[in-house]
C-alpha cells in the first residue's frame, strides 16, 4: 500500500491534481514519521492506521469548520476523506459488523460493560481499517447494556 501511495503521488503530480497530491503527501509524511519515531516497519497495517487516523482527524475538522461557517473547507475536507477512503480495505456493512460482534461476544462471553476492553482487544484485529471504530464501539456498548 505504501508503494501504491508513493506511485500515486507521482501520478497525481503529472496530472496536476494538487488536492490529491497534498493529501497523499500528508499521509505519506505521517507514515514516515511513525516509522522513524516508533522504529516500526512500514506495513499495510501501519498504512491503514495512518489512513484511518487521517480520516478521523478530517472528520473532526469538519465539525469545527461547520461551526465557523467555512463551507469551502468543509467541501475540501469531505473530498479528502472520500479520496483517502479509496485506499482503505472494503468497508464492512452493518450486518457484517453485527455478525462479527456476535461471534466475539460468544467467544469472550462478557458479563458487564467492564469487559469492553476484552471485546475491543479481540475484535480490533478483525475489523481494523474496515469500519468506523466509533460506530463499532457504539454497537458493542449497546449490546453490553442489553446483557
Mean pLDDT, residues 110-133 = 87
Ramachandran assignment for 69, one of left (phi > 0), alpha (psi -120 to 50 degrees), beta (any other)? left
| CATH superfamily, region 2-85 | Uncharacterised protein YqeY/AIM41, N-terminal domain (1.10.1510.10)
- Residue intervals in the chain for CATH 1.10.10.410: 94-145
Average pLDDT value over all residues in the chain:
92
pLDDT tens string 84-119 = 999 988 888 889 999 999 999 999 888 888 888 899
Domain 94-145 has CATH 1.10.1740.10: no
Task: Tell me the CB-side half-sphere exposure of residue 23, using CA atoms within 13 A.
Answer: 24
Please give the pLDDT value at position 45: 87
Q: What percent of the chain has pLDDT over 90?
A: 65
What is the full DSSP assignment across 61-125? Answer: HHHHHHHTT-HHHHHHHHHHHHHHHTTSPPPPPHHHHHHHHHHHHHHH---SGGGHHHHHHHHHH
Please give the pLDDT value at position 113: 84
Please give the pLDDT value at position 41: 93
pLDDT tens string 58-87 = 999 999 999 999 999 999 999 999 999 999
Please give the pLDDT value at position 134: 84
Please give the pLDDT value at position 19: 95
Q: Which three cell numbers stand for residue 15?
A: 496530472
Please give the pLDDT value at position 112: 84
Amino acid at each position: 500500500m505504501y508503494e501504491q501511495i508513493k506511485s500515486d503521488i507521482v501520478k497525481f503530480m503529472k496530472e496536476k491534481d494538487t488536492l490529491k497530491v497534498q493529501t497523499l503527501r500528508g499521509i505519506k509524511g505521517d507514515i514516515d514519521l511513525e516509522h522513524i519515531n516508533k522504529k516500526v516497519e512500514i506495513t499495510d497495517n501501519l498504512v491503514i492506521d495512518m489512513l484511518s487516523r487521517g480520516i478521523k482527524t478530517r472528520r473532526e475538522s469538519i465539525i469545527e469548520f461547520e461551526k465557523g461557517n467555512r463551507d469551502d473547507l468543509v467541501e475540501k475536507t469531505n473530498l479528502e476523506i472520500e479520496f483517502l477512503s479509496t485506499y482503505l480495505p472494503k468497508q464492512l456493512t452493518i450486518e457484517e459488523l453485527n455478525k462479527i460482534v456476535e461471534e466475539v461476544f460468544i467467544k469472550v462471553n462478557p458479563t458487564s460493560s467492564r469487559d469492553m476492553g476484552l471485546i475491543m482487544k479481540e475484535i480490533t484485529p478483525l475489523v481494523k481499517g474496515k469500519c468506523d471504530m466509533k460506530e463499532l464501539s457504539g454497537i458493542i456498548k449497546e449490546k453490553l447494556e442489553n446483557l
